[in-house]
Amino acid sequence: MGEKKKVLVVGAGPVGSLAALYAAQRGDDVEIYELRNDLRDPTTTPLNFTKSINLALSERGINAMRRAGRQDLLDHVMSATIPMRGRMIHGRRPNGDHYEEPQDYDVHGRTIFAVDRGGLNKRLLDILERMPNVKFYFNHKLTGADFRKCKAWFEIQGRGASTESRAMEVEVDFDFMIGADGAHSAVRYHMMKYARMDYQQEYIDTLWCEFQIKPKDGAKSDKPMEKFAISPNHLHIWPGKEFMFIAIPSDDGSFTCTLFAPSAVFGQLELSPSIIPSFFNDRFPGVTALIQPQDLISQFLQNPHLPLINIKCKPYHYAASVVILGDAAHAMVPFYGQGMNAGLEDVRILFEILDKYERIQQAEANDSHGSTSALRATALAEYSAVRVLDAHAINDLALQNYIEMRSSVLSPTYRLRKFLEEFLSVYFPGLGWQTKYARVSFGNEPYSTVVAKSDYQSKMLIPDRCAHYFLSPCALGRTTNGPDAKETIVLEPAGH
């Protein structure tokens, strides 16, 4: 801290890129090492995704970008977003007709935003590229690290390193490493040899596959909204108990859609692809009018079928030399739309803590190297202590919300609770009531505080004895997939 350091960022995804920007803004020498080719090169296909993936960006992610101190970042990213004011629930009436029912996210009119993850990432890379103290090393894979000696080893990939010849390896020294290399993090793996890290990972029995709704033909340029086949200002959900289909709008009028279903169902559809259109007709009313049956089949067969992983670990740092952020620290299932938002928030919180200790150091006018690194170790320990609680809380919320998105959005009890909480929020603002969704998506309170406040509101709305009588533990969001899940009255507001 204080003096200029060499910061190595491993992983140039959204979280690594934002962390690099924060470090570079503080004057450090930043080197970014990324396994893949430059995302801005049109030949690069993002890892695990078909072309691009649309995400829900909300306050925590926006706030982290706002605090990066580059208004051009936020202006550019936000100009390419589409506000989503609520969910659009798609269902079928008893007579078989398809209906759409909007459910606003927020009684005060706040929205979340659809954003192209690749576009956000590219904008960060563009800004970093123009900073004199930032260097990029694409096609560099972290293969080893010594966190006592602060040395790392990278294998140069692809271009220049033939598969037959031994891959070229480079050794790099650093003062501080930030590991933002995703769910299968190599930084985390090597850190485990140094830190006494608790680690837990779980694959849920759900796979996901991307589909696309095309823009409508013939939209007039003066009526840009006409290019969308369904409302662009909603996150569309087809809840299907065991399954779920969602659609998020893109700037060009298309929608990026995702099918979530148990792996056995994916297996059946892979074996008999001809049943895919009738599978969609039965479960997701209206979808075959938006994606032609033949396209449904080809997109299902062409696009990857990917797993969902939930990772919890602690601590997130080792001594003064390394910290892991984003999916590397807490990959979560996507049902609260918070994975990237939480990762960007990690960056803000980490640098706020580092800055706090830097101010302490300046106040004490003590800038010897030893105390610099001791202070950073203290700062990182504080970061782990604060952030582990909150990351675990959002990991759990995200898991719980799968049930809620698939079915509770249709439940009268869920709607009643939402109504009561919003009523109190509007007419008795002094009470400070909000739905859990609003606290997670429109605020910056620590996730663990959100859970505590929401539990308190549950207790106030449903006194213990009633809750005992009416609700199973699952209904209170404590378990997610118990055998009785379908019968449960769920009272938690749904995510996404």
* 417 versus 496: smaller Cβ distance to ligand FAD: 496
For ligand FAD, which stretch binds (CB under 6 A), given 178-186, 271-279, 358-366, 400-408? Answer: 178-186
Distance, in Å, from the CA atom of 256 to the CA atom of 477, rounded to the nearest integer, reads 29
Does 47 contact ligand FAD by CB under 6 A?
Answer: yes
Distance, in Å, from the CA atom of 118 to the CA atom of 125, rounded to the nearest integer, reads 10
Does 324 contact ligand FAD by CB under 6 A?
Answer: no
Residues near 403 by beta carbon (within 8 Å), at least 6 away in sequence: 474, 480, 481, 485, 488, 490
* 349 versus 462: smaller Cβ distance to ligand FAD: 349
Residues near 124 by beta carbon (within 8 Å), at least 6 away in sequence: 14, 17, 18, 20, 21, 73
315 upstream amide cis, omega within 30 of 0: yes
Does 338 contact ligand FAD by CB under 6 A?
Answer: yes
For ligand FAD, which stretch binds (CB under 6 A), given 211-219, 271-279, 337-345, 433-441? Answer: 337-345
* 21 versus 340: smaller Cβ distance to ligand FAD: 340
For 462, the token pair is 């449903």
* 182 versus 239: smaller Cβ distance to ligand FAD: 182
CB of 282 to ligand FAD, least distance (A): 23
Site for ligand FAD in 114-173 (CB under 6 A): 141-142
- Look at residues 272, 338, 266 and name the one whose alpha carbon lies nearest to residue 304: 266
Residues near 83 by beta carbon (within 8 Å), at least 6 away in sequence: 111, 112, 113, 233
* 3-class DSSP assignment, residue 388: helix
Does 315 contact ligand FAD by CB under 6 A?
Answer: no
Binding mask 211-250 for ligand FAD (x = CB under 6 A): ----------------------------------------
Site for ligand FAD in 16-45 (CB under 6 A): 16, 33-36
CB of 215 to ligand FAD, least distance (A): 21
For 167, the token pair is 């891959």
Handedness of CA 45, 50, 51, 53 (dihedral sign): negative
* 161 versus 467: smaller Cβ distance to ligand FAD: 161
**Integer angstrom CA distances of residue 331 from 222, 313, 387, 398:** 42, 10, 14, 10
Does 186 contact ligand FAD by CB under 6 A?
Answer: yes
Residues that bind ligand FAD (CB under 6 A): 10-16, 33-36, 47, 55-56, 141-142, 180-182, 186, 208, 258, 326-327, 334, 337-341, 343
